[in-house]
Amino acid sequence: MSDLDPSQAAPAEANDRPYSVSELAFALKRTVESAYGFVRVRGELSKVTFHGNGHVYLDIKDEKASIAGVIWKPQVRGLAVRPETGLEVIVTGRLTTYPGRSQYQIIIETLSPAGVGALLAQLERLKARLQAEGLFEASRKRPLPAYPEVIGVVTSPTGAVIRDILHRLAERWPCRVLLWPAVVQGDQAAAQVSAGVRGLAALPSEGPLRRPDVIIVARGGGSVEDLWPFNDEGLARTVAACDIPVISAVGHETDTTLIDFVSDRRAPTPTAAAEMASPVRAELVQALQARERRLADRVARLIDRGQARLAQASGRLPRPQDTVALAVQRLDLAGAGLIRALRTHLTAHASRLQAASGRLRPALLQRRLGEARRRLDDTTPRLARAGARPLAEAQARLAHLSQLHASLDPKGPLRRGFALITDAQGRIVRSAAALTPGQRIGLELHDGERAALIEGEGAHPAPRARPREGQRKAGEDQGSLF
């Protein structure tokens, strides 16, 4: 079977037999290799992968297209620069196809740098601006809590990352984990991760769903394009403004994104982030046990030293029985003397009682009692006569004082029919000359007060009531008002 030549039209009868897929694929391979046996291409490297057999697989791209490339092991050793994602390079080689995938690729012979890629250059400018604002300063980074009770994780709920984190936390420090699901690749990744960080920070400090003590932003490894959402400026500012310590665990150890610089701690892997966020419970238990043993040993040593000092000091002290022996002896002597004294005293009082009881007879006591009664009967009338005179004098003085009090009582005349006259100011009127016609006065009687009006000149006085029979006329033996 001859190779296909696109420059020559096939005879009409050749079209009757179909080509197999392999025939067509290898014919295209030979055509591409013959037409592009040597090319020189400029572009940005991406998806750089170092295979275990020594080959390097990569993509060369620009704004509109991407070409797969491969560097065989013999050429890798002679490269002037190590291929890295984001590096803008100029490569030389030849084009070929891979029939198994119907894919064309460039076999790279040489590779030289042509400058930093456009994306990386943009990222470097953003990093320089954020660093100038102080978002990378070590002084603003918060320390991680030593014993977190709640750990928040912002990552994909279906990936291996969250399983690795949960498995590592279960081994080291079992605690509550709050997962905020978010896509970690693509156009929506930056916005969803930012929303996760803000949402966890906005949780209440108390309650069934409380805010975490530390937040882990995690994602597995990938190309620069896969990790590019974590270079978003909005996400970086959200992480920097979060008041909860944030650990960034994006990509593998060699991958670096913008949030690594603004987060409080960078972990090379998600598993390492779980180790940073949590202590080892077994180690804490061992440390506590070791401290408990050291404390017990120290207390035992203190007790031993105290007992030794006590034994040493007690050796210089006298024996207790020697100390109290003299006092015991004095007590014995005093006790014996007290018994003798009590017996002597008792004997003396018994003798005096016996002597006195001999002089006490009932007839003598009755005679003395009769004499005392006669003296009392003689004394009682004299005491009564002596007390009657002062009592009469006191009663006479009391009667005189009662009469004087009654005569001096200002209310007494009022009860006998007189009235007390006062002017508008409440002053007592003692003379008729002090009153003028039309003047209002007050009359105070024994059972109340009344107001009155002085009549005018020439007015007829009110007729005086005729005294009843038996009543005295005014001025006749009536006596003084006061």
Q: What is the CATH number of the domain that holds 158?
A: 3.40.50.2300
Q: Do 109 and 176 fall within a single domain?
A: no
pLDDT of res. 291: 92
pLDDT of res. 150: 95
pLDDT of res. 16: 66
DSSP letters, 67-80, are EEEEE-HHHHTT-S
Q: Do 153 and 273 fall within a single domain?
A: yes
Contact criterion met (CB below 8 Å) for 278 and 169: yes
pLDDT of res. 328: 82
Q: Do 165 and 111 fall within a single domain?
A: no
Contact criterion met (CB below 8 Å) for 43 and 58: no
Of the residues 240, 255, 281, which one is the last residue of a structural domain?
281
- How many distinct structural domains can be found in the chain? 3
Terminal C-alpha separation, the chain: 170
Token code pair at residue 256: 């670096």
Q: What is the CATH number of the domain that holds 25?
A: 2.40.50.140
Q: Which residues of the chain have pLDDT under 50?
A: 1-12, 458-482
DSSP 471: P
Does residue 99 come out as left (phi exceeding 0), alpha (psi in the -120 to 50 range) or beta? Answer: alpha
pLDDT of res. 179: 96
Is 354 inside any structural domain?
no
Of the residues 281, 309, 334, which one is the last residue of a structural domain?
281
Is 394 inside any structural domain?
no
Q: Which domain holds residue 32?
A: 12-116
Contact criterion met (CB below 8 Å) for 70 and 51: no
Q: Do 79 and 182 fall within a single domain?
A: no
pLDDT of res. 392: 82
Is 52 inside any structural domain?
yes
CA distances from 480 to 123, 373, 407, 420 (A): 127, 60, 10, 14
pLDDT of res. 17: 75
Q: Do 73 and 157 fall within a single domain?
A: no
Closest by CA position to 257, among listed 293, 233, 291 = 233
Which pTM does this prediction carry? 0.46
| Amino acid making up residue 413 | P
Q: Do 174 and 110 fall within a single domain?
A: no
Q: CB under 8 Å to 457, separation ≥6 — which residues?
A: 437
Is 374 inside any structural domain?
no
Q: Do 182 and 238 fall within a single domain?
A: yes
* H or E stretch at 47: strand 39-50
Q: Do 102 and 177 fall within a single domain?
A: no
| Amino acid making up residue 382 | R
Is 389 inside any structural domain?
no
pLDDT of res. 275: 92
Is 220 inside any structural domain?
yes
Q: Do 109 and 202 fall within a single domain?
A: no
Closest by CA position to 83, among listed 224, 221, 194 = 224
Q: Do 158 and 80 fall within a single domain?
A: no
Of the residues 244, 263, 281, which one is the last residue of a structural domain?
281
DSSP 202: T
Is 99 inside any structural domain?
yes
pLDDT in tens, 286-316: 888 899 999 999 999 999 999 888 888 877 7
pLDDT of res. 457: 57
pLDDT of res. 115: 58
pLDDT of res. 80: 67
Q: Do 221 and 277 fall within a single domain?
A: yes
Q: Do 159 and 230 fall within a single domain?
A: yes
| Amino acid making up residue 55 | H
Is 310 inside any structural domain?
no
pLDDT in tens, 316-339: 777 777 778 778 888 888 888 888
Residue 246 pairs in a beta bridge with 215
Following CA atoms 366, 371, 377, 378 in sequence, which dihedral angle do they give, to the nearest 10 degrees? 180
